[in-house]
Amino acid sequence: MDAHAITCASWNMLKAQLEAGAISSLQIVRAFRNVYEEDTRSASPLGALVEFFSDAEEHARTADNLRASCAQSTKTAGANGGSVSGKPLLGLPFAVKDNISVKGKHCTCGSKLLADYRAPYDATVVARLRAAGAIPLGRTNMDEFAMGSSTEYSVYGPTRNPRDRSRTSGGSSGGSAAAVAGGQAPFALGTETGGSVRLPAAYCGLYGLKPTYGLLSRYGVVAFGSSLDQIGFFATCIDDIALALSVTSGKDLYDSTSTCPPPATGRHAVSHHLAPFSAHECSILRAAVPRELVDAPGVHPDVSAQFQRFLTWLRAQNVQVEEVTLPALQAAVPVYYLVATAEAASNLARFDGIRYGQRGDTDALLENYYRAVRTSGFGPEVQRRIIVGNYVLSRHFSGDYYRTSVRVRSRIEQECTQLLCSYHFIVCPTAATGAFPLGERIHDPLAMYCSDLFTTFVNLARLPALSVPVGTSGTGLPIGIQIIGSQWQECAVLRLAKRWEEAPHV
C-alpha cells in the first residue's frame, strides 16, 4: 500500500492493513503529514489543519511496538491477524476540531482570544479514542467559537473546499471535513450546534453524523450552546462512524447531560460489524418527507434532482415514502438563533482576559478592561452573537424572546417526536445548494444563517442525523441528503445509509 493509497483509505481499510502487517502506523502518520506539508506550501492551501501534532509519529511508533509485542507473545496471528485485544483502533490517526481538548495541545477555538491557551486534559471522547488505541493527528480549522457556516470566521483564515478551492468547505467544522476529504486525515471529530458537522460533510462529499444529544460526552468541548452542542464524526464510509461510536458513546460522570439510552427505546448498540438493512427489513420501513423543507425557497434544482433520486431508490427498496407536514419547522431557524445566541452570551462571559484569554491593560478600570479585551479578542461574528444573546436575555425582553423561543422549541421537538412514532426516518436535503463561493455570504449574516434551514430543527429536537453523499451537481459539487431518526436510533440510521452505500450505483 503506497502513500497515496494510504491517504485515500478509510479507517477500516487501514485497520485491515495494519492487522495484516502490510503497513505500519508510522507509515500512515507520515503519509498524512506529507500531504499536509505539501499542501501548506501550495499557492492556495486548504487551511484544513492548523497544527499537525509533533508527537504523532512518536505515538505511532508506540502503537507499532505494542502490536508487534502482542503478536509475538500470543502467537495467534492466524486467527486474529495483528489485532490487539481492547484496542480496536490501535495506530489509527484522527483529526480534532480546535474546540475539543487534547491534553497539552493548543485549543484556540479559531480565536485570537485563546491564542496561547493549552488544554490541561483530554476531552472524554478524545480520551476514549486514545484508550482504544487511536492517535490524535492534529487540530482542524473552524469558525471562531463554532459560530458560522463557512469556516471563514477564523483567526487562521478560511478553509477551502478540496473539490473547488474557490468555495467554502462549510462550517463551523469545515476544517475537519476538508482534512478528511483532502487526504490530510482518515477520520475527524467535529462539533454541532445547528448543522456544523452535516453541512461541511454535504459540501465535501463525506458522511457526517450528529448523534442524539447526550450520547457522546461534551466534557472537554468549549461550549457554544450547551443545550444544543454535540460532538460529531466525519468519515468516508459508514463502518468508520460505527467503529468510532462503538468506543465513544455512553454515560460520562464528568458531563451530567450525557446518558445511556433508556431501555424502553429498544436501541440496538452500534457495533463495528454493522449490517445494512435486509430487503425484508426495508419492506417494513417508513420514511417521512417534510413539505416545508422540500418546497423551501432557494433549493437548487441539482439538489432537488439528487434528493428525488434518493427517494426513488428508497421506493425501489420497498420503503414506504410519504410527504408530511411539520408546521413548526417554519420557526426553526429563528428559534435556533435565539436559543443559541442566548446560551453563547452566557457561555462566553467567562472569556474576560482574567480567567481565560489574552491579557489586556491592567491599569484600566475593570469595565474598560473587559471591553478592551473582548473587543480586540473576539471577531465580528462572535461579537454580533454575544450582543444579540445579551439583548435576548435582558430583563425587558427575555419573556418576549428567550422564553417564547424555548416554548416553540418544545413544540418543534414534540412534532418531530410524534412524527417519528409513525415513521422510522425523516429524510430531506442537508443544504439547499452545493458549496457556495468563499466571500459570498460573509457580509450578509442573514444569508449565512439561512444556510442552516435544513439542519437546525434536528438540534432543537435532540435527534440523531446523518448527512449522506448522494451525488454531485452539474458543476461537480457534492450534494448530501439527511437521514434523521428517533432519539437513540443511530444504529437504524447507519444501517439504512449502509444499504445505500453498498447499492450497485454508489
* CATH code, 301: 3.90.1300.10
In terms of domains, do 345 and 437 share one? no
> Could you read off the pLDDT of 463-495 as tens digits, one per residue?
999 999 999 999 999 999 999 999 999 999 999
Determine whether 172 is an active site residue: yes
In terms of domains, do 271 and 376 share one? no
pLDDT of residue 428: 98
Phi, psi of 383 (to 5 degrees): -60, -45
In terms of domains, do 495 and 352 share one? no
Q: Is 44 left (phi over 0), alpha (psi -120 to 50) or beta?
A: beta
130 compared with 449, residue with greater pLDDT:
130
In terms of domains, do 184 and 212 share one? yes
pLDDT of residue 327: 95
pLDDT of residue 266: 45
- Read off the pTM: 0.95
Catalytic residue among 10, 25, 83, 97: 97
Distances (CA, A) of 302 to 168, 181, 198, 398, 478: 18, 21, 18, 41, 10
In terms of domains, do 174 and 216 share one? yes
1 compared with 145, residue with greater pLDDT:
145
Q: Is residue 81 assigned to a domain?
A: no
CA gap 379, 6 in Å, rounded: 38
CA gap 315, 503 in Å, rounded: 14
In terms of domains, do 184 and 227 share one? yes
Q: Is residue 50 assigned to a domain?
A: yes
In terms of domains, do 144 and 248 share one? yes
Residue 159, pLDDT > 70, answer yes
In terms of domains, do 221 and 257 share one? yes
Q: How many separate domains does the chain show?
A: 2
> What percent of the chain clears pLDDT 90, i.e. is strictly above it?
85
Determine whether 246 is an active site residue: no
> Could you read off the pLDDT of 241-269 as tens digits, one per residue?
999 999 999 999 999 999 987 664 444 56
Enter the DSSP assignment of 224: S
Sequential DSSP letters for 254-270: TBTT--PPPGGG-PPPP
Instruction: Give the closest residue to 188 by CA, choosing from 63, 86, 50.
Output: 50
Sequential DSSP letters for 312-381: HHHHHTT-EEEEE--GGGGGHHHHHHHHHHHHHHHHGGG-SSSSSS----TTS-HHHHHHHHHHHHS-HH
Q: Is residue 405 assigned to a domain?
A: no
Catalytic residue among 172, 173, 249, 405: 172
Sign of the torsion angle spanned by Cα atoms 151, 152, 155, 160: positive
| End position of a domain, from candidates 372, 398, 424 | 398
CA gap 414, 266 in Å, rounded: 20
In terms of domains, do 191 and 98 share one? yes
Identify the helix (H) or strand (E) that includes residue 202. helix 198-204
pLDDT of residue 275: 94
8 Å CB contact between 490 and 211: yes
For range 302-326, the mean pLDDT: 98
Determine whether 196 is an active site residue: yes
Q: Is 426 left (phi over 0), alpha (psi -120 to 50) or beta?
A: beta
**Strand pairing report for 164-168 and 320-324:** unpaired
Instruction: Residue 130: count other Cβ atoms within 10 Å of its Cβ.
Output: 18
Q: Is residue 242 assigned to a domain?
A: yes
pLDDT of residue 504: 86
CA–CA–CA angle 455, 182, 467 (5° rounding): 20
Weakest mean pLDDT among 60-74, 351-365, 377-391? 351-365
Residue 199, pLDDT > 70, answer yes
CA–CA–CA angle 59, 64, 69 (5° rounding): 125
Domain containing 376 equals 333-398
> Could you read off the pLDDT of 47-104 as tens digits, one per residue?
999 999 999 999 999 999 999 999 887 765 454 556 788 899 999 999 999 999 999 9
In terms of domains, do 266 and 352 share one? no
End-to-end CA distance of the chain: 24
* Contact residues for 219 (Cβ-Cβ < 8 A; gap 6+): 123, 124, 252, 254, 255, 258
> Could you read off the pLDDT of 393-415 as tens digits, one per residue?
998 887 789 999 999 999 999 99
| End position of a domain, from candidates 398, 432, 452 | 398
To the nearest whole number, what is the mean pLDDT of the chain? Answer: 94
In terms of domains, do 483 and 356 share one? no
Enter the DSSP assignment of 208: E
| End position of a domain, from candidates 367, 398, 429 | 398
